[in-house]
């Protein structure tokens, strides 16, 4: 159903993924008619369900399918096993309808106890072919998918606070001419913006209790301080400025960078 090439738009908001089918047909532009007001879903400790409000802003119905995965945007709903169940998983939304979908959190052995866990929620929508579309031969209606993060927090890991963003440290390793960011917190930290002098870094998300190198637009050897913006639980930004530590390689360096 979803086997095709993917085109993603990266932003602080949910990732919008457009299915592109390479044929000689004329494609009807896809619009996100079914949307949600939140940019992420958070299960705090002790919570077993989340009510997700969806709104169909179009003047035509849409078929919607919801599922979760572990981070692979090409995974099929039947291939993924996560502790999060959407009720209902498939439904039709009428024009201007507002509907609440229940996300049920089931027990899953192996969930981290000292840090939050990350999954991805998919909202896949197919708008109908209109009468005008039907009159046009070889017309293709493209479906659209919204992806957003789902965080599961264990006991002892509360909401992200503004002072928690100050716990990040930045280390420059002269041997590699590389700037590292270290996240000693139990939360996934999203850096929406980062700059030092005239050098900026690509937005990224840092896994809990880990370090990773920063992809900078220029050399970081002369930087003394770094200014960064962190995305909080509500999708807003907190701004910080910290000095850069000039020392050896940081510990717990991980090579995989989870996408935001």
Angstrom distance (rounded) from CA 219 to CA 202: 14
Residue 58: DSSP 8-state: S
Q: Does residue 184 register a pLDDT over 70?
A: yes
Average pLDDT over residues 66-85: 92
- The enclosing H or E element of 134 equals helix 131-135
Which of these, 132, 168, 4, lies nearest to 76 by C-alpha position? 4
Q: Global pTM?
A: 0.79
- The enclosing H or E element of 245 equals strand 245-246
Per-residue pLDDT at 8: 34
Q: Does residue 14 register a pLDDT over 60?
A: no
131 token code pair? 């009468």
Range with the poorest average pLDDT among 31-45, 81-95, 178-192: 31-45
Give the Å distances, CA to CA, from 71 to 60, 114, 200.
31, 20, 26
- Which CATH number, 3.30.420.40, 2.60.40.10, 3.55.40.20, 3.60.21.10, labels domain 162-246? 2.60.40.10
Q: Does residue 249 register a pLDDT over 90?
A: no
HSE-CB of 170 using CA atoms within 13 angstroms: 23
Q: 92 in helix, strand or coil?
A: strand
Per-residue pLDDT at 243: 95
Range with the poorest average pLDDT among 8-17, 36-45, 135-144, 239-248: 8-17
> Domains of the chain: which residue ranges?
5-152, 162-246
According to CATH, the superfamily of the domain at 5-152 is Immunoglobulins (2.60.40.10)
Question: ∠221-226-232 over CA atoms, to 5°?
Answer: 145
Per-residue pLDDT at 9: 30
Angstrom distance (rounded) from CA 204 to CA 197: 19
pLDDT, one tens digit per residue, over 236-246 is 999 999 999 98
Range with the poorest average pLDDT among 4-13, 65-74, 89-98, 119-128: 4-13
Q: 100 in helix, strand or coil?
A: strand
Per-residue pLDDT at 223: 82
Angstrom distance (rounded) from CA 10 to CA 167: 26
């Amino acid at each position: 159903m979803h086997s095709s090439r993917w085109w993603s738009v990266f932003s602080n908001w949910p990732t919008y993924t457009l299915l592109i089918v390479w044929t000689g047909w004329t494609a009807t532009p896809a619009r996100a008619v079914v949307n949600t007001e939140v940019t992420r879903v958070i299960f705090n400790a002790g919570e077993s369900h989340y009510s997700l409000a969806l709104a169909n802003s179009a003047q035509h119905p849409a078929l919607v399918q919801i599922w979760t995965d572990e981070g692979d945007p090409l995974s099929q709903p039947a291939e993924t096993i996560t502790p999060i169940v959407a009720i209902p998983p498939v439904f039709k939304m009428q024009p201007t309808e507002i509907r609440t979908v229940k996300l049920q959190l089931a027990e899953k052995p192996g969930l981290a106890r000292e840090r939050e866990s990350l999954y991805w929620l998919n909202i896949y929508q197919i708008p109908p072919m209109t009468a005008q579309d039907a009159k046009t031969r070889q017309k293709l209606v493209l479906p659209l998918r919204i992806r957003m993060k789902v965080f599961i927090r264990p006991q002892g890991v509360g909401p992200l606070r503004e002072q928690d963003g100050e716990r990040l440290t930045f280390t420059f390793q002269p041997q590699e001419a590389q700037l590292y960011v270290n996240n000693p917190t139990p939360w996934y930290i999203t850096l929406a913006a980062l700059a030092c002098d005239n050098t900026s870094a690509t937005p990224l998300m840092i896994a809990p209790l880990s370090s990773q190198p920063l992809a900078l637009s220029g050399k970081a050897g002369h930087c003394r301080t770094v200014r960064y913006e962190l995305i909080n639980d509500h999708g807003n930004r907190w701004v910080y400025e910290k000095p850069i530590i000039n020392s050896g390689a940081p510990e717990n360096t991980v090579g995989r960078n989870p996408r935001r």
